[in-house]
Amino acid sequence: MTDRLLLTFNAGSSSVKIGIFRIAGSRPERIGKALVDFSDHPLTLHLTEGPATFDLSLKGDSGDDLAGLVDEVFRELGTHFDLDAVVAAGHRIVHGGDLFDGPAQLTDRTIAQVHSLTELAPLHQPQALRFIKAVRHLRPELFQTGSFDTTFHATQPDLSRRLAIPRELHDRGIKRYGFHGISYRYVARALAEKAPEVARGKVVIAHLGSGASLCALDDGESRDTSMGFSTLDGIPMATRPGWIDPGVLLHLLGPLGMTVQDVEDLLYHRSGLLGVSGLSGDTRALIKDNSAHSREAIDLFTFRIAGEVCRLASTLGGIDTLVFTAGIGEHQPEIRAAVAERLLWLGAELDETANQRNALRISTSASRISIWVLPTDEEQMIAEECLSVMVAAG
């Protein structure tokens, strides 16, 4: 009998990651992965199957209707995997608002609810919906689910989520939600499996990628996070500014005469590390460049991360553990070292050799804070949540 398969779609604003999983027991087993970067011309499906990798040219485009592109991707994947065995598809959805507190089956009703939250995540929500609708059009029989970046933070107290604005606006959904929750859920579980006593303490996880945020956990549950109402908030990112005085926005829209669209483009695409350095939003390029502007961008990045660690420690009433994850957090010792150096006063001491090796635990035995490096895997978590919803639905 052919193994049943499950697909995951992790759609960002400029790419989509696709996971191919074999349903085996309670945890789906990844057997392949693929990536389509929408900045490629022509579009290319970068496919990994075991140790082999393939670059497959695509004729489709990333226009409003993705059905043609998804159909082509399915045909290419079908030459490597038995897609007739696919029984479900799980999607990453950035915003669940207050409508979802966990993963959900995507029905007409829940898709409409996801769509109703589009104005809260105008860049990411439409992209996820396009893939959901394209898969539904091509394979209407598939059981589809959504995993939400916001639901992990549903355990936060109201005080953490509230903005100092009129109550009627809070009641209309203008509050701090937090994001990267799928990643935090995976890393929190991984820490609990590797070091259960550590995971029960006061932990701050730094998810550092092109999008970046930090999360405070107490006994594995989210209590506060650096991202708030939108994915623009918190620490500087590749092209996003992080925290910014709202008076700056009023100044841009008023005296400087910028339109809302101009400001949106500035905040999402031209700020952050790219804006400060004038060179790149990629920390690897900035570290290699080592010009004054690139150095300043790195210094600002690590300065804000360390400051946010301290703010989150205040929320928790202390800090026992700091965890680095995601692309930068997992693979760039220079960034971790610069953050840890600013936390020396808290008793954070790095083992330089372990840090250079990207080891699991990179703090010294004398460090008052244990410091860890744990890989994240959003697609694995999406696959597991998809399977759990499917099993619960019978």
| pLDDT beneath 70: ranges in the chain | 1-2, 13, 60-65
Query: Are residues 209 and 136 both part of a single domain?
Result: no
User: Are 142 and 260 members of one domain?
Assistant: no
Per the residue annotation, which of 149, 224, 233, 377 is the catalytic one?
Answer: 149
Residue 84 token pair: 């007739």
Q: Name the DSSP letter for residue 3.
A: P
Q: How confident is the model at residue 62, as a pLDDT?
A: 60
Residue 289 forms part of a structural domain: yes
The gap from C-alpha 161 to its chain's centroid, in whole angstroms, comes to 19
Residue 386 lies in a domain: no
Task: For 242, list phi and psi in degrees, rounded to 5.
Answer: 75, -155
Please give the pLDDT value at position 246.
Answer: 96
Residue 64 has what pLDDT?
Answer: 65
Burial 304-338 (b: 16+ CB within 10 A, else e): bbbbbbeebbebbeebbbbbbbbbbbbbbbbbbeb
Q: Is 142 helix (H, G, I), strand (E, B) or coil?
A: coil
Describe the crossing of helices 333-342 and 292-316 by its angle, rounded to 10 degrees.
60
d(CA 119, CA 113): 12
Distances from the Cα of 216 to the Cα of 151, 198, 227, 237, 349, angstroms: 15, 14, 11, 19, 20
The pTM of this model reads 0.94
Q: In terms of residue numbers, what domain contains 47?
A: 5-148
Q: Does residue 179 lie in a domain region?
A: no
CA distance 296 to 302: 10
The reply to whether 242 and 368 lie within a common domain is yes
pLDDT of residue 1: 44
Roughly how many angstroms between the first and final C-alpha of the chain, as a whole number?
Answer: 20
**144 and 205 part of one domain:** no
Same domain flag for 211 and 89? no
Q: Which two tokens stand for residue 357?
A: 């090796």
Helix (H) or strand (E) holding 173: none
Residue 204 and residue 343 in contact, taking contact as beta carbons nearer than 8 Å:
no
Is 37 part of the annotated catalytic residue set? no
